[in-house]
Amino acid sequence: MSDYDFDLFVIGAGSGGVRASRVASAHGAKVAVAEEYRVGGTCVIRGCVPKKLLVYGAHFAGDLKDARRFGWKVPDCAFEWPVLRDNVLADVDRLEGLYKNTLDSHGVELIPERATITGPHSVKLANGREVSARHVLIATGAWPVVPEVEGAEHGLTSNEMFHLDETPRRLVIIGGGYIANEFAGIFHQFGSQVTLVNRSSTLLRGYDESIRDRLMQISTTKGIQFRFNAQLDRIVKNEDDTLCVHFSEGDPIPCDVLLFAAGRRPHTGGLGLENAGVEVDGKGAIKVDEYSRTSCESIYAVGDVTDRLQLTPVAIREGHAFADTVFGDNPRTVDYDCVPSAVFSDPPMAGVGLTEAQAKNKLGTVKVYTSDFRPMKNVLAGREERALYKMVVDATTDCVVGLHMIGPDAPEILQAAAIAVKAGLTKQQFDDTVALHPSMAEELVLLK
Ligand code: NDP
């Protein structure tokens, strides 16, 4: 008999927490997971999944226009935001149900309450009940940063964007990262006038410069407006409920909705970390070792709350590796090398491995191959938009060390190509593969 109520108590039923719970349970552990909001976490409830569905919904704006060039008699079509919104939210409900079923079928006890840590082996639930566990896993994710300026309460975060009553006529987005560029693309296609404002002069820091420049050029051509090096000063709400966003320099920008997309901070507030000596770093992220163990021996943490790579598949791997290590007698770490990522902007971009600048810094001599082309579909549709693929190669070994692309379906294409980059294949091995014609992906084996 265990001395504890549970072998594992998980705080947070998002991607990392659910995976860890069910795998630990399959290894024979008695598991409970506490969730104060909804099962599925950011990805399923208010992130990746509903966002991607909005991306699909938004794409019809261009597709319906293009269809005429392909011979379809398309009448003038109106977009009804409430229909898409409600269908997306219904799908989120469906997925939450599936996540709950998974926990249930694995015998994991779901406790729909907030839990706080009271000691190395104890957790207190919102109803006052104290629970003990041999191990505690913190998987509470991250939370949007809201800049501390006057009137910030008038702005929204990505959490609320899925629930808008109507699409805004004018949308101002603070930030120049993933969420800013994804929502800019989505709402521009829905007909909103979008202005993206960033504190620096850089969009999507960390992505390859040529690819970022291409997104900026395409977005500007489409009519998305940008303002860089702008410091937010205050937000004023007018009598008619519209907003005016003021900056320390330059003209204020009027809008109907203001979205903060200025990063996401590890969600550790009020979690009681100090009661168990769980240390955090300067950004508030829980410090962990390669096995996701915190500074308290019995407590582990996975996912965005550790701020290693804020990506769902990474959190899932961390949760799985934790469960195998602690309950499966199979110590495993996560390999963070060559993790592919994508921005579902319009058009989307994706990358894996080193950017050209990173490769030059790390390797000295690199060879860079690019294909700058107008996708066949864009040509017939009369769209000027060009795709750009870039391959970065170690000049000494001929190994492909980075692949970066922007263009239709870039994330779908890159996921497959990332296997080759991860496997350390050479440029010659890409070239040895016969092209699949006609496709956009064939550019990857035809790079000169
Ligand atoms: P990002 O980290 O991508 O970008 C944050 C942006 O906000 C940057 O442009 C940054 O400017 C700016 N910024 C940071 N702090 C402030 C501030 N105090 N005031 C004004 N601007 C500021 O954050 P997101 O919120 O877009 O996304 C959070 C994370 O979620 C991402 O890092 C990503 O890991 C994940 N995510 C992944 C997605 C995907 O995989 N497709 C989609 C959405 C989110 P600068 O860098 O110029 O200083």
Q: How far is the CA of 174 from the centre of ligand 1 (A)?
A: 10
Whether residue 273 sits in one domain with residue 139: yes
**CA-261 nearest atom, ligand 1:** 25
Whether residue 25 sits in one domain with residue 122: yes
Q: Which residue has its alpha carbon closest to ligand 1 atom 25?
A: 263
Last residue of a domain, one of 223, 245, 262: 262
Q: How far is the CA of 262 from the centre of ligand 1 (A)?
A: 5
Pocket test for ligand 1, best of 52, 145, 172, 178 (most atoms within 8 A of CB): 178
Q: Is 263 in the pocket of ligand 1 (CB under 6 A)?
A: yes
The pair of structure tokens assigned to 284 is 């508030």
Decide if 64 is inside a domain.
yes
Cα–Cα nearest to 3, from 133, 197, 115: 133
Q: Is 180 in the pocket of ligand 1 (CB under 6 A)?
A: yes
For strand 232-237 and strand 243-247, is the pairing parallel, antiparallel, or unpaired?
antiparallel
Cα–Cα distance, 19 to 315 (Å, whole number)? 9
Q: Residue 429 belongs to a domain with what CATH number?
A: 3.30.390.30
Number of folded domains that form the chain: 3
Q: Is 205 in the pocket of ligand 1 (CB under 6 A)?
A: yes
Q: Is 181 in the pocket of ligand 1 (CB under 6 A)?
A: no
Q: Where are the beta strands (DSSP E) in 204-275?
A: 225-227, 232-237, 243-247, 253-255, 257-260, 264-266
353: containing domain = 347-445
Whether residue 361 sits in one domain with residue 269: no
Q: Which residue has its alpha carbon closest to ligand 1 atom 34?
A: 310
Cα–Cα distance, 313 to 306 (Å, whole number)? 14
Burial of 257 (C-beta count, 10 Å sphere; 0-12/13-18/19+): buried
Whether residue 214 sits in one domain with residue 250: yes
Q: How far is CA 446 from CA 410, 427, 430, in A?
A: 16, 10, 8
Cα–Cα distance, 256 to 316 (Å, whole number)? 37
Instruction: Give the pLDDT of residue 2.
Output: 76
Whether residue 293 sits in one domain with residue 200: no
Cα dihedral across residues 196, 202, 204, 209: positive or negative: positive
DSSP for residue 113: S
**CA-205 nearest atom, ligand 1:** 46
Whether residue 271 sits in one domain with residue 235: no
In this structure, the dihedral spanned by the alpha carbons of residues 63, 85, 267 and 258, taken in order and rounded to 10 degrees, is 80
Instruction: Give the pLDDT of residue 1.
Output: 54
| Positions of the chain with pLDDT under 70 | 1
Residues with Cβ within 8 Å of residue 213, at least 6 apart in sequence: none
Last residue of a domain, one of 238, 262, 286: 262
Decide if 251 is inside a domain.
yes
Q: Is 185 in the pocket of ligand 1 (CB under 6 A)?
A: no
Whether residue 138 sits in one domain with residue 74: yes
Q: How far is the CA of 408 from the centre of ligand 1 (A)?
A: 23
Cα–Cα distance, 445 to 238 (Å, whole number)? 56
Q: Is 168 in the pocket of ligand 1 (CB under 6 A)?
A: no
Q: Residue 169 belongs to a domain with what CATH number?
A: 3.50.50.60
Q: Is 157 in the pocket of ligand 1 (CB under 6 A)?
A: no
Whether residue 42 sits in one domain with residue 130: yes
Residues with a known catalytic role: 437
Whether residue 273 sits in one domain with residue 258: no
Whether residue 138 sits in one domain with residue 22: yes
Whether residue 321 sits in one domain with residue 193: no
Query: What is the chain's length?
Result: 448
Instruction: Give the pLDDT of residue 358.
Output: 98
User: How many other CB atoms are found less than 10 A from the CB of residue 160?
Assistant: 13
Whether residue 273 sits in one domain with residue 303: yes
Q: How far is the CA of 388 from the centre of ligand 1 (A)?
A: 23
- Judge whether 389 and 414 are in contact, CB under 8 Å: no
- Judge whether 224 and 171 are in contact, CB under 8 Å: no
The pair of structure tokens assigned to 183 is 């929502």
Cα–Cα distance, 59 to 66 (Å, whole number)? 11
Cα–Cα distance, 327 to 325 (Å, whole number)? 6
Q: How far is the CA of 159 from the centre of ligand 1 (A)?
A: 14
